[in-house]
Chain A
Amino acid sequence: MKQSIYSRIADALDYTGEILILLAKTVYWCKSAFKNLKPIAKQMLEMGVYTLPITSLMSLFTGMVLALQTGTELSKYHIEHLIGSIVSASMCREMGPVLTGLIVAGRVGASMTAELGTMQVSEEIDALKTLAINPIRYLVMPRFLACIIMLPILVIYSDCVGMAGGFIVSKFQIGVDTSTYLDSIKNFLTIRDVYSGLVKAFVFGIVISIISCYQGFRTRGGAEGVGKSTTASVVISFLLIIVFDYFLTRMFFQKS
């Protein structure tokens, strides 16, 4: 039966409300973080360390493409010495946090949703409740903290690798020497460029962890349900990353 527009709006508000409730409860249970260091560390390893290879590849080629595209155009006006500043600012402000966020949402977020969704349909989460273990404290909080800690670290790593990729193309294809490239970064990259990217990473970490866990908890209907939840988790995370990126960019860089 076709849902009316009002019913869809009501569903969307319902969903938003439940996400915010899950976020509030997760933040509340962060008080137990020091008693749960082992699971948090395990999640940080999964999210951060095991994501390094794909993050490295993505960041390297992003930096290289940025340098190639901008270097080619800048060469026409003989201002290719600015290439370092453009690559670094782009990586730190946008490409680093957004692409890393998307990678983590696709790899880690999908995995979290699939894992929790499978637990939901096989009654493992109900079993935790019967053992008087709060599922949000046991399952969501470690993932939440791991995400908000590791994503900014991954973004710093991604920015550095991206700048390194930009350097390779600048030196060997555009013809900008090392000192010119590094001076350009030093003179034009600001602290705001860097921390805006880290704030975005922090926000994206919240989005990915909460959306992925929520979708996992609301999974119904066996294997098919797990597949649907995983897809929904990735799509919603991607959309929210782009939406929040816009508003955060406005907040940091729009001239008043």
Chain B
Amino acid sequence: MIGIDKLDGKISFHERRRYSRLPIEISVLISADLPEHTAFSQQEEKKSKDISGGGICFKMQKQIKTGSLVYLKLQLPDGNKEEISASSIMKWQRTIVTSNGEKHYETGLEFAQIEKNARQRIIEFVKVKEIIINIVDLHKSFGDEKILQGVNLKIRRGETIVVIGCSGCGKTVLLRHIIGLIKPDSGILEIDGVDIARISDNELDKIRRKFGMLFQSAALLNSLTVEENIKLSLQEHTNLSEEDMNKIVKNKLGIVGLDGTQNLKPADLSGGMKKRVGLARAVSMDPEIMLYDEPTTGLDPVRADSINKLILEFENTLNTTSIVITHDMVSAYQIADRIAMLYNGKIIQAGTVQEIKNTDSPVVKQFITGSNVGPIT
């Protein structure tokens, strides 16, 4: 049974009184009818008309990409509203320029899997989660050792995806590919539509400004103080005054609970403190995409939980897309919208927490249960 708790783009799922913050994808019958298109404004709430086909037309302020996750609001018979999401297949898109020069797009979307009575109840187009990172058939070897052997993964804007896998399977190698620290042997790696394996260093640096990365060892510059470490990006990429930068440093350190440590050097910090300062540095420019390499490894359970809460807080406040590498399943279940398992150089399964927990794959099952009996040797 599906119910709605809040209408802020996140969906609550009621099932035996358990709540999950994860979006739900509904899969029902495929419509074979030809679509009749009804225009809806993104700004206005209108009652749906009878839609005999599988399509719907939206007037949008910007273009969206095929494969995006679309959130729609439905009217329930009891007057409440229900929100669903569905993967779109874009049928057509045309650009309309109004007489006063404003540009908007009419997009015809066909939802492959939406039931007829759901289509009739569509009252509002809520939002779109576009694909921001597109990894296609990625291969990487170091000498004779094949690490990535055809990784395929699509990551949508605003989601938190956790990549799990055995030690040494290539999770960190995959993460380093995403930020361009390693170039693949073959395959496509697109960030916002740009294949970063085929651009110059200067262009790659422009794309990197969208990222923040927390390294496993924090990777703070030991010759600089905590304040200087966090200010690095601000000094390089902004024209902020010293006072404004100090305010940002104070704010970011406050978020991680380390305000007052500005003048300490990394050598004066504990492991947990270094990780939190590393996190503050990574979010100093409010990045769109955050990468976390084993954020809780080496930390005690209390500190690990505080890092998890910080990851969730950054996602909620900054609407960042997060990619987390970990084999800490407790953290993974806590923070993930989706979990993807890397095994033998490929993503063998990617799904919601529930889908992963209910997996039929013996490899995934063995990994998440921590059993030493199974196909993983």
Contact = CB atoms under 8 A, between A and B. Distances in A.
A183 to B, nearest CB: 50
Interface string A111-133: 00001001100111011111111
Interface in B205-221: 205-206, 208-209, 211-213, 215, 217, 219-221
A123 B232 contact: no
Contacts of B219: 122-124, 126-127
A130 B233 CA distance: 10
A122 B221 CA distance: 9
Interface in B193-207: 201, 205-206
A134 B208 contact: no
A128 B281 CA distance: 11
Interface in A7-50: none
Contact of B232 (A118, A126, A133): A133
A130 B209 contact: no
Given A129-B208, A130-B181, A130-B213, A124 B222 contact: yes
Contacts of B223: 115
B46 to A, nearest CB: 44
B221 A123 contact: no
A132 B217 contact: no
Contact of B221 (A124, A129, A130, A134): A124
The bracket for how many chain A residues form the interface is 10 to 19
B236 A126 contact: no
Contacts of A131: 208, 232-233, 236, 281
Contacts, number: 54
Interface residues of B, number: 26
B213 A127 contact: yes
Contacts of A128: 221, 232
A132 B236 contact: yes
Contacts of B206: 132
A120 to B, nearest CB: 11
B208 A127 contact: no
A40 B152 CA distance: 45
B16 interface: no
Contact of A123 (B208, B217, B281): B217
A115 B208 CA distance: 25
B181 A134 contact: no
B341 to A, nearest CB: 25
28 contacts: A118-B222, A119-B221, A122-B217, A122-B219, A123-B215, A124-B220, A124-B221, A124-B222, A126-B176, A127-B219, A127-B220, A128-B221, A128-B232, A129-B179, A129-B180, A129-B208, A130-B179, A130-B181, A130-B211, A130-B282, A130-B291, A131-B236, A132-B206, A132-B209, A132-B233, A132-B237, A133-B233, A134-B201
